[in-house]
Amino acid sequence: MLKNKLFYIDSLEQGDDLIRCAIHIAETHSIFEGHFPGQPVLPGVCMLEMLKEVIEEAYASSFQLETASSVKFLTMFAPPQFTSAVFEIKPIVYAGNQLTINATLKFEQHVFLKFNGIYKRVSS
């Protein structure tokens, strides 16, 4: 939905205990015209959708957010100051059709998003 429109994946590395995905943002995307004119900020809901799409890319499967036990937006992801970031996703449990994760979206020491929750794999 947002991949290859609002954000692009630069690299995706996946191990047993960590998924690391470098992304960059399309600064000229129309979402920044309304959020907010003259002071663009990446909406939090977009960060959550981007997280889901990165998980889908890593697992080559469709997922739906089932439970968000903790969602924290700590720094504004505001282009042009920030145009790239890294998702670090730690799969805690992947059992049946549920994936429990801890994730962050950050650039160097700037943390934009901290997330803990459960995604459910869905049929496409």
CATH of the domain at 110: 3.10.129.10
29 Cβ contact list (under 8 Å, min separation 6)? 5, 6
pLDDT of residue 25: 97
- Whether 71 is covered by a domain: the verdict is yes
Q: Which domain holds residue 35?
A: 7-122
When pLDDT is cut at 50, 70 and 90, the band that residue 115 belongs to is: very high
- Whether 47 is covered by a domain: the verdict is yes
pLDDT of residue 124: 61
- Whether 1 is covered by a domain: the verdict is no
Q: How confident is the model over 68-113, as pLDDT tens digits? A: 999 999 999 999 999 999 999 999 988 889 999 999 999 999 999 9
- Whether 2 is covered by a domain: the verdict is no
The count of structural domains within the chain is 1
Q: How confident is the model over 9-40, as pLDDT tens digits? A: 999 999 989 999 999 999 999 999 888 888 99
Q: What angle do CA 117, 123, 124 make, to 5 degrees?
A: 110
- Whether 51 is covered by a domain: the verdict is yes
- Whether 26 is covered by a domain: the verdict is yes
